[in-house]
Structure 1
């Protein structure tokens, strides 16, 4: 049995201001829909996720866009991949995702960012991301859903990957790795300059928009 997470208060560095407002509004709508579908009150979801009720309310009303850290906590508590919280209406045919309109999530300290390279709509079992790590930064990730696989390639820099109890793996530019991501894992930038990774996540179950 897991202990109830400590609540994260609504500190300024735990939310990311969304200048366009579009991402915040989209996340807010999806959070409210998923929460009510599961029959959770804000208080109940706060206890499950460790995120304060006040902050959850801010996110649902579109006043704040969560950092990637908070989005992971909320998504895990709801039992969905975090991308599900950013799903939009399903688009048909070719989809172009312009760089200046990308959905980008960042850590509270700004040293880690994730840019989605796929449309948040429809049903899928695969997601594609560009990850950026600041100089000498280590980003820890909680276990994903059972059976989730991560396959990544280093585009810039030198990265150390640790997955569960496996030995650390050091990857240079052009090196790739695949590992089971349903265990705690981490990405560490071993250089004093920004690192860039391209990540494909594969799920066992289909993710619905």
Structure 2
């Protein structure tokens, strides 16, 4: 990251007002729908806020756009190497996400994240647009989707409609996994505009 413009905070500040305006929502109305305070939203739009996972996912759900339309991602081309040490972490209740790559293929859009659920903690989501895919790399992960609970171990996969309420928990220790969010291309706010995941402005590093 070379500066705030390339950070998650900077990217969200650049895009939130644009997306909100496209949706025809005032800050007051967005606050009412998202349950995020007006002062917090104003700070986020000015680049002074400190967004969490919960905030970003709530905005994605209410504005009905992929996460990367808020974090400013683009389809990469050619060889792309993403170093974990260079990726800014988006943290929230019980979980840390590192945005790695956005992939567009036909009518499908995918966002790839390195996901870590912290030991003994849980993350709840009211739901957001898209289909969610998770592959556990290490640890034991408890996933609950619309009241249905499953236990996953290293190598296990789960996929579900992300609009349903869901949660991740790591009761026995820290869990590492790959999170893949899948969208239809028509769910993007502006498919024709250039986008960039934080740090993906060069072929190497994110």
Counterpart contact for 2:108–2:182, Cα < 8 Å: no
**Counterpart among 84, 90, 96 of residue 113 in structure 1:** 96
CA RMSD of aligned residues (A): 2.6
Unmatched 5+ stretches in structure 2: 196-206
Q: Which TM-score applies when normalising by structure 2?
A: 0.79
Q: Which residue of 1 aligns with 2:151?
A: 170
Q: Displacement of 1:133 after TM fit?
A: 1.0
Give every structure 1 segment of 4 or more consecutive aligned residues whose post-TM-superposition deviation is greater than 6 Å: 120-123
**Count of paired positions:** 186
Match of 1:132 among 116, 119, 137: 116
Distance 1:90 1:164 in 2: 32
User: CA, structure 1 residues 88+185, in 2 after alignment: closer, same or farther (shift >3 Å)?
Assistant: closer
Residues 28 and 59, structure 1, Cα contact 8 Å, conserved in 2 = yes
In the TM superposition, residue 120 of structure 1 has moved relative to its aligned partner by 8.7
Which stretch of structure 1 is more off in the superposition, 75-84 or 52-61? 75-84
- 2:63 is the alignment partner of 1:78: yes
Aligned to 2:83: 98
Give the CA deviation at 1:173: 1.4
Q: Which structure is higher in RCO with an 8 Å CA cutoff and minimum separation 6?
A: 2
3-state SS, counterpart of residue 25 of structure 1: helix
Q: Tell me if structure 1 keeps the 8 A contact 2:137–2:177.
A: yes
Q: Please state if 1:60 is matched with 2:45.
A: yes
- Give the TM-score normalised by structure 1: 0.78
Please tell me whether the aligned partners of residues 87 and 120 of structure 1 are also in contact (alpha carbons under 8 angstroms).
no
Q: 1:152 aligns with which of 120, 134, 151?
A: 134
- Following the alignment from structure 1 to structure 2, what is the Cα–Cα distance between the partners of residues 181 and 75? 11
